[in-house]
Amino acid sequence: MIRSIFASLVTIIFNFVFLVSFVLFVLLNTLLTPDFYKSDDANKFYESSIDLFSTFIYRVNNEVKLPLTKEEIKNEVRAVYTPEDIRNTLTPFVEQVINPSFDDDGMATIKLDFSGVVDKLPKFGENLAKKLYVALPKCGKNDPEDAIGKTCLPKSVSISDFKSQLSSSLDKELFSKISSKSLVFNINRNSMRLNGFNLDKSLFWDLWWLLLVIQMFLLLLVALIIFKPWYRIVKWVSKPIISGSFVAGLFFIALYEVPDFMAKFMGSGPGKDLTEEEMGTVISFVKSLLWLVVDKALWFAGILFVFGLAVYIFGLWGKKHYSHGGVK
């Protein structure tokens, strides 16, 4: 009984250490790895990026009063932007964050360059103009003046004139509001140090290995506390692995629900910056990025859970074998 109590206390400590180690391991293999953004799974993030950008364009469209549905705008955005554009924007930024290049003064510049996205905006406007020029009917004599260029086109307006007019409207309402093609951050080398250690990816890996050693020690401690028979040791050693992986899985599932909770806290709708539909799109965008991490985490946790369960079942088999006079 006393042995079981002490083993349970060690298991609780193991769960805390395991959770920190597990979160660190997941981050090191997802968000802090440039290749993660090049994977096929990251294409799901592309779809959410298209939804978010289309929602923003649709809001501008409501001000310009063009006869376009959100789905039509989304199709035009998808025709211009590819998953490669998203990867080419995110991957260099992540690489700079992970391995900043410091100059002689100990300063590093981190640049999020989205010029590849911004430079394609005129192409998007041109495609939109072509679509509208074909779709809009020609104006008749009885059409109201405010309908010209929005619900109908004068017969004398050429496609080049229409492109020019639409580009002018989009530039006023959208393109001109983008003041820069990049975001620049300056990092001081001293701010990347803590108690003499460089806060870089290699340090995080060293920390993970240290936590792994601590976990091995705690499992060994559990084995020493139980001591015998061997099948009880096997069962008790499996319990921290099972509970730790289960807790880690629950943690990432809860993390995935955080954006929904924040949305309810901030609110949306009349009188707010975002409508309910726009807020839903933003939340979907954030959750799509989170899911790329959560999905990996659940796979890792699931593998460890099954492994721990298999070890526990082996302990049960050992108990049955032992009780029938088998090998002790």
Assigned domain for 252 exists: yes
Assigned domain for 158 exists: no
Instruction: Check residue 149 and give left, alpha or beta (phi > 0: left; psi -120 to 50: alpha).
Output: left
- Domain residues for the domain of 303 are 1-65+200-328
Assigned domain for 286 exists: yes
Eight-state DSSP code of residue 137: P
Q: How far apart are CA 26 and CA 292, in angstroms?
A: 11
Assigned domain for 185 exists: no
Assigned domain for 163 exists: no
Q: How far apart are CA 172 and CA 174, in angstroms?
A: 6
For the entire predicted model, the pTM comes to 0.73
Q: How far apart are CA 106 and CA 194, in angstroms?
A: 15
Q: How far apart are CA 306 and CA 83, in angstroms?
A: 35
Assigned domain for 102 exists: no
- Reading the chain (328 residues) residue by residue, the pLDDT tens digits are 788 899 999 999 999 999 999 999 999 988 888 777 777 666 777 877 888 778 777 776 666 566 777 788 888 888 888 888 888 887 788 778 777 787 877 788 888 887 887 788 778 878 888 887 777 777 776 665 454 455 677 777 778 887 787 777 776 666 666 656 677 778 777 766 666 666 678 888 999 999 999 999 999 999 999 988 888 899 999 999 999 999 999 999 999 988 888 777 765 544 456 667 667 777 877 888 888 889 999 999 999 999 999 999 999 888 887 765 554 4
- The closest of 239, 68, 261, 246 to 151, measured between CA atoms, is 68
Residue 153: strand pairing partners: 138
> Reduced to 3 states, what is the DSSP secondary structure of residue 186?
strand
- In the chain, the number of structural domains is 1
